[in-house]
Structure 1
Amino acid sequence: MRPGGALLALLASLLLLLLLRLLCCSTDAPARSRLSAERSRDGPRGTPAAPRTLRSPATQLPRPTNRYLESDYLQIIRNIQNCPWKRQEEEYENFRAKLASCCDAAQNFIVSQNNTPAGTNMSYEVESKNEILIRENIFNMFPVSQPFVEYPYNQCAVVGNGGILNKSLCGAEIDKSDFVFRCNLPPITGNISKDVGSKTNVVTVNPSIIRLKYGNLKKKKEIFLEDIATYGDAFLLLPAFSFRANTIASFKVYNTLKESNARQKVIFFHPKYLRNLALFWRTEGVTEFRLSSGLMITSVAVELCEHVKLYGFWPFSRTVKDTPVSHHYYDNNLPKRGFHEMPKEYRQILQLHLKGILKLQFSKCEIA
């Protein structure tokens, strides 16, 4: 495949899904006929469609390019918004079964005493040639078993940090969820809570952010504990065994909370689970250096929850109405280039939305 062909193929398959959804949801019979006629004119059923066959009256074909074109995605999302979302139970069950067969989040998502005995030589997720011996003191940091005893949860919210959340008024809707996942320790207090909510059951924590903001947690321990207190009884989820550099920082967070009798509990991603999850998504075309925490948690949520809705997942610099939007709802700091492949990840999440497996919130929430 020529350079840029892989991304073009990803967009093309997404457009095909969109076309099928438009056919299904359209109440305008003439419009449906036009779409059907165009599909039959472009090629016989059952044969691979050339890129031009994916064009619909509302969707322009992305141009072949090595670059990710934000405008192509925004046009696709505008078209998606024209179709009411509908949950597809069979699609959901099939995808959930695929995830469970490869990864089994219910048993393997978190390092526990049940799945990681003392004396284990655990390989790191990314630096897999390196191992850490699970001595008794480390073993005692782990919960006895997976801590999510009420699994499967009914309604779950996965809250990203996209600037699209600003002025969304989604806070009340998020807080009504049975279980709320948040990504990378974002601010949730003050006036922003009306947009992002405050309920938190699990929040991922990037050790690099801890080091940058709080140093070694000695001088800024009280500030750290005050900030963490806003998350109530949440679990703090850290990738202690992804890179060796993360281990000491993650253990310091654990020990700081334990010594202070904090309400929050520290849990650790299991590196084997994350490796298996990366292999799963690689078969779907996501070949980046490492998955983002957003895609990791979305995958976990699909396994642990009956209904999943995503908020604040928006890797674009503009809204569908073409107005500028910050990268995060609390700042505009851009991620490292080359670390995550956000266009490919977002394409996968759009696929899940189109298939009725989960629901993406694209704009403001409706207020009851």
Structure 2
Amino acid sequence: MEQVRKSAHDCDALVIGGGIVGLSTAYAITRAAPGTRVTVLEKEPGPARHQTGRNSGVIHSGIYYRPGSLKARYAVRGAAEMVKFCAEYGIAHAVTGKLIVATGRDELPRLHALVQRGRENGIPVRELGAAQIEEYEPEVRGLAAIHVGTTGICDYTAVARHLADASGADIRYGAEVVRVDRRPERGVAVLTSGGDIVRARVLVNCAGLHCDEVARRTGDDPQVRIVPFRGEYYELARPELVRGLVYPVPDPAFPFLGVHLTRGIDGGVHVGPNAVPALAREGYGWGVVRPRELAGTLSWPGSWRIARRHWRYGAGELRRSVSKAAFAEAVRRLLPAVEERDLVPAPAGVRAQAVLRDGTLVDDFLIREGPRTVHVLNAPSPAATASLPIGREVARRALAALAATE
């Protein structure tokens, strides 16, 4: 690849990744610094084809997250901003509220802890007894529950499209990054699969499932590996059984919320997801295997440490993956009326989970910087909810990096 010349930059900031975080970042850069030239490279033929467009569409309240963490701050702020953004631009959304339901006595202390956490995060929470659950969800059963009023739903793909249109950035679809040449004193040049070379003063890595690979291509050590987990969903054939959003009490030892029920913006009810290891970074089914990516996962010491630490939990998830009856059994803890035949397979998603070498699952947002680079290395749920404030934070760092090059 030819060397980058300072006078020959095609753009000021080059964003890799056309999901909701990348597009929010491009939007925030052009809002904060009008005239900044921004290019977005997305390998798919359109925006939001992976994590953004393959989730249940929930606007999360922020009740689960440790007070003071980036997830807590961004989710609470982001939920309010997302509702306002959708209302302003006519994007389908609704503030529905949700129930978190305890079905066993061992879950009651964890439910009470969520009440306290919600209050610390400034989230309105109502505690419910068993009889009060039916006021919200007549078919749901539990020992106790909490109602979280600020949770909602929206069409995140439509949000991403609007961010793309409104950003004023040069967005190039079908442009997969195959090589990065960084010269700290001159800039960054990226070669795409189509043979194009894009030169920039600063690179912003929002590549989601491939963010650690992009970081390594720049010469930065991300110190994490993306381990993909597939979330498998069903659609409820009898959507009338559920009015809104119903969640179990999460297990704090694992960063997944468990099988839940979500009435989407289209009126259908999603059931899931469970979480199983994916055999490829875009492995949306057991039949999708990419040996190089699988080898990368298996060679990372943290992957084996996760397996040893969480094998019991993982075994249950795998059982629900291969057995529809087992999945239905899990749903009946919340919704006793559901039958196996009520579950219709729906598209799966894959979560880009950052894992440290010691097997720690990175729980919070992780943003790191290098010479002329900003890397978003972990953007777990509630990344879509919090995408507007996350985009501003990444944009702030990108603009600081740009200022340092002048």
Q: TM-score range by the shorter chain?
A: under 0.3
Please identify which structure carries the higher helix content: 1
TM-score (ref. length: structure 1): 0.26
TM-score (ref. length: structure 2): 0.24
Please identify which structure carries the higher strand content: 2
